Amino acid sequence: QKEVEQNSGPLSVPEGAIASLNCTYSDRVSQSFFWYRQYSGKSPELIMSIYSNGDKEDGRFTAQLNKASQYVSLLIRDSQPSDSATYLCAVTTNTGFQKLVFGTGTRLLVSP
């Protein structure tokens, strides 16, 4: 079982819709969870972090965490074509240091 799993997609949504991206992880003691965005040919950049169960909102982005189900998601409201990218879920491992394990990413396509 992979440590962090994501559906590779592509996930296609029309402009203005809500895009829902999902991620599951295997290490029950993981404490920190992150969403990175990667445009084609570019490097990943952090867009959201979440550390406790529940929702965290930042502009059009909402991260949701459920540690009991080992599940983290990212909602993008009012999706724009500029949101088209690959979204990487990342989870810290229980090493005592900041070691991030990434999922393989979900490709999001937002059509005008």
> What is the binding site for other proteins (CB under 8 A)?
32, 34, 42-46, 49, 88, 90, 92, 95, 97-105
Residue 74: count other Cβ atoms within 10 Å of its Cβ: 24
Q: Which is nearer to other proteins, 71 or 102 (CB)?
A: 102
Q: Which is nearer to other proteins, 7 or 17 (CB)?
A: 7
Q: Tell me whether residue 70 is exposed, middle or buried, using C-beta atoms within 10 angstroms of its C-beta: 0 to 12, 13 to 18, 19 or more.
A: middle
Smallest gap from residue 45 Cβ to other proteins (A): 7
Phi, psi of 102 (to 5 degrees): -100, 145
Amino acid of residue 99:
K
* Least distance to other proteins, CB of residue 31, Å: 8
Residues forming a β-bridge with 56: 63
The CB-of-16 to other proteins minimum distance in angstroms stands at 30
Residue (17 or 101) nearer to other proteins, CB: 101
